[in-house]
Amino acid sequence: MSNKSTMEFQSNKDFFSRVNLFVQTHTALMAVIIAAILFVATIIINPRSFNLVAIGNIVLLTVILSIPAAGQTMVLIGGGMDFGVGAVMSATAILTTYTMRGENGHFLPVLLISIAIGVVVGFVNGFCSVKIGLPAMIVTMAIANIVTRLQYILTQGVLSGTASPLLAATVKFKIGGVIPHVAVYALIIWPLVFYILNKSRFGKQLYLVGNNPAAAKLTGIKVDKVRIISYIFSGVLAAFAGIIGAAYMSTARCQIFDGYAYDSLIATIIGGTTFAGGSGSYAGSIAGSLVMVLLSNLLTSLNLASPIRNVLNAIILVLLLMLYNRGKAVRQ
Amino acid sequence: MKSIGASFRRFRRKPAFTGFILFLVVLLLNIIVQGWSQCLSKGFSVGNALAFFQPTSLNSIFMSNMPFILVTIGQALLLLVGQMDVSIGVQIALVNVVCIMVPQQTGCPTWVGWLVGFAAAFAISALAGVCCSVLRLPSLLATYAMTFLIQGINVLIMAVPQGVVPRAYWKPYQSTVYGLFENPPSFLKFLDYIPVAALVLIAVLLIWHFFSRRPFGKHIYAVGTNQRNAFAAGINPVSTQMKAFLIKGFFVGVAGICLTLMSASGNPLQCEEYGIKSLSAAIIGGMGWGGWGSISCGVFGGGFLVLIQNAVYYFFTLLSKLFNGFAVTSYWHNFVSDIIIFGGLLMTLVTAREQRKTLQQGLKSQFKRGEKNVK
């Protein structure tokens, strides 16, 4: 009897360890599975939420979140962390609405200035955290604060201007009534990021730098340069995401996208990129973005009071983190 | 004279040296700017030149910033054991909400509400400790998730800002020691320079002093530097980190009560930014990530941030008095103080490098002396 129960326990343990192994080796797939569970849960709870408009919105928000998550993935792989993506997104969103003021024909200057902002902020972030050696989290946060203050000085806290109709149409217009046009942006950016991370020389160097900086240095890689470039990519991608976000929201107030700093970080972590650096994939980050969007979608469709929604959100986030992002035990 | 030099050199190797120098600089700046501004408006005199030290000014600085300084001390303690808590700001809002709502709803005396507030602070800190230390989740993300949780609880307890605190409670906190007396004798006038809020800080530091003398005071450094080595040396890392979280819970409780007495009302959605601000304050004060720093780093770092905001405010008043028609919005104040905070972060590098060098030299000289003795 006791023998049998031990065996059962043994097989149980096998099952759990196999699940654990699967989770740890297939993080991106796991994120997709979680996303699917969340989506099915949403439909079961509220069948009316299964419609084309809702699906279109999910695609749109996922694409917007996946762009700063791309930059975050690069920085995390290189062993850093970027808390400035939210502030950069808000800044370029405000820049977009303030420059366009609802007229067409300002897209190119807005794009160029935004990218310049992204490069400058990314470079300062990278330089301060890599060359000067300040803790990445604190220094990117301090710079994000300064960017936020600049937004207030520029706007004086007043809401003004809208994105141009053409830009808004390129984001919101739905092909066949289902897939929003923003998917076109995704078709440009996603392959580009995949190429940078997996095929280009920079991507290979970045993985090695994150994995083992000393070895990377010995092979002749300029470690600091690679890391700073990863921050610059993060700044530029966030700047671009800000323009698309402005087109989606039409108007932009200060700090509108600040939450994307944490959201992109959590999406990237759920997608299997680790704080330690050197591992992770962009496919995982896209799946993680999908999980974040579906999670907030689920909580909205539950139709709860906002404090209870906050509590639920926290509990689910902690559970997600517990699933496969625990540190190593001291005793092994 | 020699002993002063020696003790200065010893102090230079301390982690708090960075924060102390920055604090001193900004304190001087504050005294000059505030004094200058006062002299321009009220005529020159020694009293006006030292306007910073006037009882009302000192008292308002201590009183309104005590919650933030206490929170920074708590954050510094967590950084010592290699953890952090970005939800620390909403935690003091939780204590505030509990302190107001428990007496209001049950009709029990105010101090019972305070005890429940302390219990809430301990409970929420223990929960954060379980997430970060026992479950080994990344503390930044786990405590960020807890921000949602605590804010949700806050709003569930108190939907909108409301509530009052009896005058007998908040009046002593907001006054100076001299103001506590009914008919004070005039020879005690010097007590006017000691705010009651400063006594709270001193009491908290004394309590910390008691803890730091116990083995726990050494364990936090061992665990913060390297958990594995600490474990091999017979220290339980999880229990040390949990203790740190609970002591932080005590600091949060005191900070929440200070917040309640300061505002004399309740607000469920305040102080959220304290979580991140206290982190950068602790780093400016000279904390490293785990095992490097001390509680005084937190005090100086918190003081630095508080005084910067004060100094920038008086700097712009001074400018508006020097140049007629010069006026800027408070957005510029925030911008300038954030730039200075960033500068402070860069400054820690210069001073910290000095520190590391002295530390290394100290180690090397000891090492060499050891070799010489062997020969």
pLDDT in tens, B207-242: 999 988 999 989 998 888 888 888 898 999 999 999
- For chain B, the structural domain boundaries read 1-53+297-362, 56-180+187-293
Q: How far is CA A133 from CA A27, A74, B66, B296, in A?
A: 31, 19, 31, 23
What per-residue confidence (pLDDT) applies to A79? 87
Q: Does the distance separating the beta carbons of A128 and B346 come in below 8 Å?
A: yes
What per-residue confidence (pLDDT) applies to A306? 82
User: Which amino acid, one-letter code, is at B79?
Assistant: L
Q: Does the distance separating the beta carbons of B334 and A149 come in below 8 Å?
A: yes
Could you please report the per-residue DSSP string of A52-120? HHHHHHHHHHHHHHHHHHHHHHHHHHTT-----HHHHHHHHHHHHHHHHTT-SS-HHHHHHHHHHHHHH
Q: Which of A266, A311, A326 sits opposite B136 (nearest CB)?
A: A326
Q: How far apart are CA B215 and CA B306, in angstroms?
A: 33
Decide if pLDDT at B370 tops 50: no
Helix B110-129, helix B88-106: angle, nearest 10: 150
Distance from CA of A87 to the nearest CA of B (A): 14
Q: Does the distance separating the beta carbons of B345 and A138 come in below 8 Å?
A: yes
> CB A48: neighbour CB atoms within 10 A?
8
The predicted model gives B108-113 an average pLDDT of 88
Interface predicted TM-score (ipTM): 0.80
Decide if pLDDT at A246 tops 50: yes
Q: Does the distance separating the beta carbons of A317 and B145 come in below 8 Å?
A: yes
Predicted model pTM: 0.85
Confidence of residue B128 (pLDDT cuts 50, 70, 90): very high
Q: Which residues of A touch B151 (CB under 8 A)?
A: 307, 310
Q: Which residues of B touch A125 (CB under 8 A)?
A: none
What per-residue confidence (pLDDT) applies to A324? 62
Take residue A305 and report the two structure tokens written for it.
């009071």
Are A242 and A114 a contacting pair, CB within 8 Å? yes
Across chain B, mean pLDDT equals: 85
Q: Does the distance separating the beta carbons of A137 and B136 come in below 8 Å?
A: no
Q: Which of B148, B155, B231 sits opposite A314 (nearest CB)?
A: B148
Q: Which of B154, B331, B346 sits opposite A132 (nearest CB)?
A: B346
Q: Does the distance separating the beta carbons of B335 and A150 come in below 8 Å?
A: yes
Across chain A, mean pLDDT equals: 85
> CB B7: neighbour CB atoms within 10 A?
10
Decide if pLDDT at A2 tops 50: no
Q: Does the distance separating the beta carbons of A310 and B149 come in below 8 Å?
A: yes
> A146-160, A204-218, B54-68, B181-195 — which is least confidently predicted?
B181-195
Chain B neighbours among A 291-310 (CB < 8 Å)? 306-310
Q: Which residues of B touch A266 (CB under 8 A)?
A: 141, 144
pLDDT in tens, B292-301: 788 888 999 9
Interface check A132 vs B, CB under 8 A: yes
The predicted model gives A258-272 an average pLDDT of 88
Chain A residue closest to B338 (CA)?
A: A146
Are B173 and B254 a contacting pair, CB within 8 Å? no
Q: How far apart are the first and last CA of chain B?
A: 35
The predicted model gives A73-81 an average pLDDT of 91
Take residue B156 and report the two structure tokens written for it.
């569930």
Q: Does the distance separating the beta carbons of A141 and B145 come in below 8 Å?
A: no
User: Which amino acid, one-letter code, is at B281?
Assistant: A
Q: Which of A137, A314, A326 sits opposite B152 (nearest CB)?
A: A314
The predicted model gives B92-115 an average pLDDT of 91
* CA contacts within 13 A on the Cβ side of A147: 33
- Name the 3-class secondary structure at A237: helix
